[in-house]
A and B are shown apart, each in its own frame.
Chain A
């Protein structure tokens, strides 16, 4: 039972990070029908920016501001830089190709992903880095926390912060998309871009907005990931792939779907690592994906795509 609870906790933490990444894929796919392969690398950039901001604020040993403010600041820095990066990627790599054959922006996206990963390697080296969160504020993130009653499973503060932060961001996104005018414009654009344009919606702005939201979430995910695990320039490929799987499982283009998909993926990975083997967990994840694609290609929350001629 203890093991199961511990694994559930692991899955929840991992899954909430995947869900954040999946949301970025889903937002962009919903509107542009484009698989943004560079999204995983935006996530890595977020992790690096957060790391840089942490150093600027005095590093782990002597932070210039209180811990909670430090965490907020590095997350905001990563979100802001990634949002700008996302807009730049859209403007320079995807917009010129919007009317090209479908394969063209996909290949451009591959190039951008490659460019970002190797630019990071050029500037920061290929080595692993981590935030050293263990020593942050003499270990407050790990020392405090609580034990689940009746078990030996401890929940350190760090996990609570990661999970709460991820879910808070998702709620904010949900409100933005469903309650604001721009959000409604996004929904309209994703249903039918041409009709939306005819109704006076500025489609370009909506697309930029989707990239801003998605990339900012990826930046936040990068920081949340970096707080718990080491990261390196080429990490984006694998993590992006998983975020993307989560989006597909949930139904690509659907926001609740991306959240559900992220959590499912997180749990699947955690349980496989705990009960089967750590080395084969990726394989299990992929098998789940292929099964989904074969039997329910539209995902959990997606609608079947009917092509009209």
Chain B
């Protein structure tokens, strides 16, 4: 997938690059040793081979596992991958802020529901309906982008945000439009037709009531088609024009590019992909509700695109897998606990490598934990008598180290959380020894808050983690995992 990297060592300043850039690039090009050889070999594998491998792995995943839950998560992950690919067109390539993206997903889902259900009495065949809905979505995107033709970048964000709000208002109140029920309001549309191709209906669940794997394959097929199509679009004239638009709209306009048309095109493409995704998601669920398309989903898709790297298709797909798995892991207290400690240790290792500072911080935190817990237990037994959330072996281990009060005072949770946030923010301001010293109590407090506050409310915790990732990434690494690093030239 890293086929874009040229594998020839630059000998002198390349055309259009200055010498420093060339040298800097050369430093990163080759790794020595076995790892370097492996990297070079992998770099020669073409992108479609990687894509096939990736799709095959996901396709094989549900075969061995007879669990409806795993299949459901796999399906949702593919949906997120498609949504991320769609948003990547608008944000990553076009550089436009589309805050109504999820509404287009909703438009697709509702359009499918209205054109293939008992509610409206229309039952179009899937083979006709799916392209139709994608076109409807693209048209909606084009229409929403239209007012932004005359407006500067920020206004586009506003118009799309409003479109999102209008979509929610209409779907929530659409059960009584002059007496007629169109969207059935918050109760949603039920009994939507499953997908059917040429007379073959794909049932939602198997005869044993298990999630039907066929839907994952349908979603994967769409994913493959969309991925390849978008790759070609990106390498086309339009794709290059989008990127130049992102880098500098003014310069692009001066070069004679039809800026407005390009913006609308990016919008329409993104919206079309989102609407397409809506069709089979709605066919699988058999129902649509307005609350499926709210703000948290929008932020999740944004986090995926930023995490993966704006502009990189491979990146956003990986981002979707990571975020989807992360959100599932955070649902379960035991998994979330393990994830937290592993992430903590890995993060420290990433920051300090194998050094004495790592030993000092880790050791200091562990010792501090035992000392504090013993002292707290000696003062009042009930302070350490609580049981950690969702008892398991890890929970017992954690409760031996972290203070878990039996009945914490009501002010304790907010106070601990606020102090933690303040400490973490404060750590970014200080440096040197002070930071190292302050890190130890911060880590312990983080563990305390995680065990006592965050694990108790997984729903809020999941989204807090998403919000933190989004802000942190924008500041520390705005190009994400695989995105292109953008250099602002002044």
Contacts and interface: CB of A to CB of B under 8 A. Distances in A.
Contacts of B57: none
B225 interface: no
Contact of A118 (B97, B147, B460): B460
Interface string B289-317: 00000011001001100100000000000
Contacts of A92: 425, 428
Contacts of B414: 123-124
Interface string A228-245: 000000100110010011
A238 B457 contact: no
Interface in A132-169: none
B360 to A, nearest CB: 26
B151 A119 contact: no
A293 B157 contact: no
A110 B169 contact: no
A297 B148 CA distance: 10
A108 B470 contact: yes
Contacts of A283: 166, 169-170
B417 interface: yes
A290 B159 contact: yes
B295 A237 contact: yes
A110 B299 contact: yes
A100 interface: yes
Interface in A87-115: 88, 92-93, 96-97, 99-108, 110-115
A121 interface: yes
B486 A122 contact: no
A288 to B, nearest CB: 10
B161 interface: yes
B157 A35 contact: yes
Interface in A57-99: 88, 92-93, 96-97, 99
B488 interface: yes
Interface in A16-42: 33, 35
B460 A122 contact: yes
Contact of B91 (A103, A126, A280): A103
A115 B474 contact: no
Interface stretch (B13-21, B330-338, B369-377, B461-469): B461-469
A238 B166 CA distance: 11
Interface string B427-450: 010000000000000000000000
B152 interface: yes
A309 interface: yes
A282 B165 contact: yes
Contact of A293 (B151, B457, B474): B151
Contacts of A245: 162
A309 B249 CA distance: 12
Please report whether the interface of chain B is mostly helix, strand, loop or mixed according to DSSP. helix
Contact of A307 (B99, B176, B250, B460): B250
A286 B166 contact: yes
Most buried by B among A112, A114, A238: A114
Interface residues of A, number: 50
A111 B155 contact: no
A195 to B, nearest CB: 17
B154 interface: yes
B271 to A, nearest CB: 17
A233 to B, nearest CB: 9
Interface string A272-309: 00000001101100100110011001000000010101
Nearest to A115: B467
Contact of B165 (A113, A119, A122, A286): A286
B425 to A, nearest CB: 5
Nearest to B149: A294
B411 to A, nearest CB: 10
A27 to B, nearest CB: 16
A248 interface: yes
B417 A111 contact: no
Nearest to A93: B471
Contacts of B471: 93, 108, 111-112, 115
A190 to B, nearest CB: 15
A119 B417 contact: yes
B150 A122 contact: no
A280 B470 contact: no
A112 B467 contact: yes
Interface string B125-167: 0000000000000000000000100111111011101100110
B108 interface: no
Nearest to A121: B460
B183 to A, nearest CB: 12
Interface in B86-125: 91, 95-97, 99
A283 B99 CA distance: 17
Contacts of A234: 295
Contact of A248 (B97, B158, B302, B421): B158
Contact of B461 (A110, A122, A289): A122
Contact of A96 (B165, B296, B470, B475): B475
Contact of B153 (A102, A105, A110): A102
A55 B478 CA distance: 42
A100 B478 contact: yes
A282 B302 contact: no
Given A92-B425, A101-B488, A307-B250, A114 B165 contact: no
A88 B471 CA distance: 13
Nearest to A281: B169
A92 B421 CA distance: 12
B470 A114 contact: yes
Most buried by B among A35, A96, A122: A122
A290 B147 contact: yes
Contacts of A307: 250
B287 interface: no
Given A123-B413, A294-B147, A297-B150, A241 B161 contact: yes
B453 interface: yes
Nearest to A119: B464
A179 B129 CA distance: 63
Given A96-B475, A101-B488, A103-B91, A111 B158 contact: no
A241 B470 contact: no
B365 interface: no
B173 interface: yes
B475 A108 contact: yes
B318 interface: no
Interface of B: 91, 95-97, 99, 147, 150-155, 157-159, 161-162, 165-166, 169-170, 173, 176, 250, 295-296, 299, 302-303, 306, 413-414, 417, 421, 425, 428, 453-454, 457, 459-461, 463-464, 466-471, 474-475, 478, 486, 488
24 contacts: A33-B154, A35-B157, A101-B488, A102-B153, A103-B95, A103-B153, A107-B470, A110-B99, A110-B299, A112-B471, A114-B296, A115-B468, A115-B471, A118-B460, A119-B417, A119-B464, A121-B460, A122-B417, A122-B453, A123-B413, A234-B295, A241-B165, A279-B176, A280-B169
